[in-house]
């Protein structure tokens, strides 16, 4: 059941007595992988975001030294994916439901004596939900330190491997996600169906953008007929292996920092 997660790091394999006897529970890091079940074009399975969340975390935990106590919870497979619900197969929760699930999970973790929780999200449509959850949880449980983190927002090899256009617009089912899935779940990728489709360009000089500092709301079918935003045809296993390793190495550093973190002014 642990999948990509090293079994000794998989929280559900612990017993309640092992948790009760665990030393320094206040600094033990609990990680909640968060993904989505949503369309990723004709060539990638619905599980992309959940697979990336658990796959990257699992690789990072395999590299993390045994002196840093970190445990992974089972992934939250469903997320807030309503921007994709016009495409068959997408399963979405409302923001309110997702917030409620995270809140109740975190409450259980808190009652068990843990005080550091990472929300390890890989779905680009819900970083804001993670941030709201984290702030509300810290407000409710003053000594619970919550980190709303996004898998891709650490140094990684995509800057070396992808074009400037792909880095800006290849946000869904494009070169990076396709490559990473070829590394994680190659048998589930249908490369013969891969497409290249970019969203319509904004007017020259516009300060507005899809996901920049001044974004506008959109749903996927307005920007893409295939469901892809990017060039999936350029994905390769070699690129995916490099991206996976670079992400994992960066997340090792982040998890180490979380373990040693103390709230400023706390």
> pLDDT tens per residue, the chain (266 residues)?
999 999 999 999 999 999 999 999 999 999 999 999 999 999 999 999 999 999 999 999 999 999 999 999 999 999 999 999 999 999 999 999 999 999 999 999 999 999 999 999 999 999 999 999 999 999 999 999 999 999 999 999 999 999 999 999 999 999 999 999 999 999 999 999 999 999 998 899 999 988 888 999 999 999 999 999 999 999 999 999 999 999 999 999 999 999 999 999 86
User: Quick one: angle between helices 48-63 and 237-260, nearest 10?
Assistant: 60
The dihedral of CA 116, 122, 126, 128: what is its sign?
positive
The CA distance from 47 to 39, in Å, is 8
Q: What is the model's pLDDT at position 211?
A: 86
Q: Provide the angle, in degrees to the nearest 10, between the axes of the packed helices 95-111 and 127-140.
A: 40
Contacts 24+ apart (CB under 8 A), 238-241: 239/157, 239/161, 239/175, 239/176, 239/179, 239/182, 240/178, 240/179, 240/180, 240/181, 240/182, 240/183, 240/184, 241/183
What pLDDT does 27 receive? 97
Residues 6+ apart with CB under 8 A from 238: none
What's the token pair of residue 57? 């975390």
What are the tokens at 122? Answer: 């890989």
pTM greater than 0.75: yes
Show the domains of the chain with their CATH numbers: 7-260 (3.40.50.10310)
Place of tokens 């709201």: 132
Burial 54-65 (b: 16+ CB within 10 A, else e): bbbbbbbbeebe
């Amino acid at each position: 059941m642990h999948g990509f997660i090293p079994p000794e790091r998989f929280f559900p394999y612990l017993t309640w007595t092992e948790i009760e006897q665990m030393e320094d529970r206040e600094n033990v890091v609990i990680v909640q992988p968060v993904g989505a079940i949503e369309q990723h074009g004709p060539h990638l399975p619905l599980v992309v975001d959940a697979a990336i969340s658990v796959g990257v975390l699992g690789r990072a935990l395999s590299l993390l030294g045994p002196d840093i106590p970190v445990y992974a919870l089972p992934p939250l497979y469903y997320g807030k994916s309503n921007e994709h619900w016009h495409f068959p197969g997408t399963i979405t929760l409302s923001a309110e439901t997702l917030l409620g699930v995270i809140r109740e999970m975190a409450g259980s973790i808190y009652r068990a004596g843990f005080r550091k929780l990472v929300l390890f999200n890989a779905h680009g449509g819900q970083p804001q939900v993670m941030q709201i959850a984290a702030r509300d949880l810290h407000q409710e449980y003053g000594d619970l330190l919550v980190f709303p983190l996004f898998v891709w927002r650490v140094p990684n090899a995509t800057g070396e491997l992808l074009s400037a256009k792909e880095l800006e617009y290849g946000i869904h089912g494009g070169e990076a996600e396709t490559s990473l899935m070829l590394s994680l779940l190659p048998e589930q990728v249908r490369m013969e169906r891969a497409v290249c489709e970019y969203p319509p360009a904004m007017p020259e000089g516009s300060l507005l953008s899809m996901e920049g500092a001044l974004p506008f709301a959109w749903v996927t079918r307005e920007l893409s007929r295939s469901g892809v935003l990017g060039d999936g045809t350029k994905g390769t296993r070699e690129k995916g292996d490099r991206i996976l390793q670079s992400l994992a190495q960066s997340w090792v550093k982040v998890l180490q920092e979380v373990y040693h973190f103390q709230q400023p002014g706390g």
